[in-house]
Structure 1
């Protein structure tokens, strides 16, 4: 069985402690990964800081490296997808889709590296400063610290590393303990494509590694994707340093009486059950107008019946396992609670072998049920009927979270009303909450966090704005 080390300064670094990497469908151990320590984090930051200071890359060099890396990823996508499916439980279909997105993210980041710029400040308009000129430049923060989740083990890693390097930084990244191999594969490809050793470093491990990252004052910016609980710790312990937090959500969609249900139904099913619902913008709550609730429920159940559930390595599988057995137990308890409170199971609702919960549809759900008011992070969609659009908008906003929402309507006035009033980071019209393009500014409000991903926006987060002013005297 292969044992993997940390990746620091281009070298595989072994440690005294090893952790198992399991096949999330069968539970079998298929690899072992070294567990890092605070000393390893210190060493990684040492290397990252020195590399960034001593060997800066030009924008043209960065773009060329990213283009070569994209080509290597494309050539190896089947191998990478298999690793992703094994360690995360996502289907081969979903893994291949994520790899294509990562390629796009790399290319976008390379392009943005060449477009980093400031702006002219009309300082001469200030009385007494008529002979001055001023402009801003954007400068790298130096070293970025990043922590990524299990559910997007390749593209989310790319969204941290590629913009950080494009901005002129080096990075130390801690991947999720359950899915370290995809992150290692990504960095190894970057270095094969020409990225000098030391710019991208991986320290695998548990919460102690994350704490050591936060404690290192040489890190100038933190980018975290994960739970609300850990996000609060990152915000607390980062001190005066800036952070970007992409946290939880209980994503909602509104389906109006005039909606095109033939358009909405397959998108909702795809948006709710992709990656077994383990996506922060997965469709969880669907507020549907009472006049079309029964029809939409029937249409969704029909689409759900066509989904293939099982081994994620099977190219025909649509829905694979959850990340842990404990999550299965929690979800089943929430489903039972909803049924006891008056909801009805229209599809699914059972646990299968291999930590799989059937794609589940609950109808006649209500706002107080855990499947509605909490973050499910699993393959469960709940339909909640409404009468007036204001009622639906208020229900969406009645949540501590606010990442993305969707609305299906053919009324442009209703669409823009929702866009203005929904208290979320992104509103998708005639799309679900799950719709995301990697070029978009992506992030939330309230307990869903703050800061934005997407290469252009992440680069702005990972650089500081610096004013340059010139006092020039006419001769």
Structure 2
């Protein structure tokens, strides 16, 4: 892929008005594999113009037609899985397993949205007024500003647009600067090929230096009536503040400092396999990745040995080589940051059970750290790399308290052979998602997905997505004239 990629406005490839472009770089080789248009404020406004023009017709499009288009788009995306695998390996350093899962779940996001398009959109309310029918009706909100991240570009790019489109909104999607093709352009092409009318979905890409201005222009446009953002907590705060200026509701799915609680009755082989998956899949670059393994002291040492043994066997390198379980991090800066967190903890007294060391370009090995204390940045910051810390505790109550001692609250896992015990522990965790006898990473398009505290607010999935991207109106129908007191 060497050609320059344009913006997509009104279903047409559209260069940036300035003619500027920006490189899209392979994180493993460091080479530029394509360039994309670098949008400025005028391009954002043009995209919103297109979405606004298309809004009424799309809102009036029958639910079954919206359903059919989304379903065809899902089939189209699924049929392009091999292209997606190649694209994500080149653009984000993803291994085939993660990229294939992205294509599969991205298509499922579109299918769930398709099913939502024909669900009931209101209800008849009880009323004390004689001869009156009182209705609660859901209607499209209008133009939605959607932001897609790079780490799960097909999953989260599809999630950014699927429910808004199903609800009858039009969308301007700002693709990630680090994966503009996979998180935006590739998805939009599938929808256009499925018959999506012009202007219903518009995609903008931009140079990283212009990100703040582009986001401010998009969210600040008063025609934008919903904001849909997935990304870091720091960026989410800025987006939320921009949306608040226009009183625009925003759904935010942000960072996580997720804990996997391993109780003293857990199957340790299963626990080690669960930790390996949740800490190292996609090199730990998943919002649900388990940074913290909170283990009962009686089993912590043995569990650490088992995790370290598995970590030592995970090779990191070319994501196109199936022998490598881990690909590179998204860039060399990300790898350097992860290494700095680990090295800093070791200097403060923590110990390496596996991994660590100097990154090889953007590659960093699967790493296990013990002896981490609460004053270390490694303990408090979202790592977003292939690193887990093992934290011993003496009771279930202490495990819950330690897991909750974080400003984040996205997801968690509880490993135990006693489901009743797991239920009690899960009820005590302050996260939006908990998986008992499973690890922290899971997603289903019909489930209410989202976090609490610094992990965001609002929910995606099923009816929750439709509710988030529509307006509820109260309408009454009176069959006879009312008597007024004056």
Q: State the partner residue of 2:384.
A: 377
Residues in 2 aligned to 1:316 and 1:171: alpha-carbon distance in whole angstroms: 40
The 10-residue stretch of structure 1 (161-170 or 347-356) with the greater mean CA deviation from structure 2: 347-356
Q: State the partner residue of 2:484.
A: none
Question: Contact conserved, 2:350 with 2:369, CA < 8 A, in 1?
Answer: yes
The 10-residue stretch of structure 1 (213-222 or 301-310) with the greater mean CA deviation from structure 2: 301-310
Secondary structure of 1:238's aligned partner:
helix
Q: Does 2:176 align with 1:176?
A: yes
Could you list the per-position Cα deviations for residues 351-400 of structure 1 after superposition, in whole angstroms to 9, with x for gaps in the alignment? 34331110101123233322221110111000000001111111111111
Residues in 1 aligned to 2:315 and 2:445: alpha-carbon distance in whole angstroms: 27
Aligned CA RMSD, in angstroms, stands at 1.6
Question: Contact conserved, 2:27 with 2:332, CA < 8 A, in 1?
Answer: no
Q: Does 2:42 align with 1:42?
A: no
Secondary structure of 2:229's aligned partner:
strand
Q: Does 2:461 align with 1:454?
A: yes
Q: State the partner residue of 2:28.
A: 25
Residues in 2 aligned to 1:364 and 1:159: alpha-carbon distance in whole angstroms: 38
The Cα of 1:218 is off from its aligned counterpart by 0.2
Q: State the partner residue of 2:238.
A: 233
Alignment of 1:104-143 (within 5 A): 104-124=108-128, 129-143=129-143
Q: In structure 1, list runs of 5 or more residues that go unmatched.
A: none
Residues in 2 aligned to 1:233 and 1:19: alpha-carbon distance in whole angstroms: 24
Q: State the partner residue of 1:51.
A: 54
Question: Contact conserved, 1:109 with 1:456, CA < 8 A, in 2?
Answer: no
- TM-score, length-normalised on structure 2? 0.94
Residues in 1 aligned to 2:135 and 2:75: alpha-carbon distance in whole angstroms: 38
Q: Does 2:298 align with 1:308?
A: no
Alignment of 1:140-159 (within 5 A): 140-159=140-159
Residues in 2 aligned to 1:327 and 1:464: alpha-carbon distance in whole angstroms: 40
Residues in 1 aligned to 2:46 and 2:191: alpha-carbon distance in whole angstroms: 20
Q: State the partner residue of 2:72.
A: 68
Q: State the partner residue of 1:191.
A: 192
Residues in 2 aligned to 1:441 and 1:93: alpha-carbon distance in whole angstroms: 25
The Cα of 1:54 is off from its aligned counterpart by 2.9
Could you list the per-position Cα deviations for residues 77-133 of structure 1 after superposition, in whole angstroms to 9, with x for gaps in the alignment? 111221112111111221011110111111111011111422221113xxxx23322
Q: State the partner residue of 1:338.
A: 345
Question: Contact conserved, 2:9 with 2:50, CA < 8 A, in 1?
Answer: yes
Residues in 1 aligned to 2:359 and 2:428: alpha-carbon distance in whole angstroms: 40
Distance 1:456 1:314, change over 3 A: farther
Residues in 1 aligned to 2:387 and 2:370: alpha-carbon distance in whole angstroms: 11
Question: Contact conserved, 2:339 with 2:359, CA < 8 A, in 1?
Answer: no
The Cα of 1:305 is off from its aligned counterpart by 2.8
Secondary structure of 1:103's aligned partner:
helix
The Cα of 1:75 is off from its aligned counterpart by 2.0
Question: Contact conserved, 1:20 with 1:32, CA < 8 A, in 2?
Answer: yes
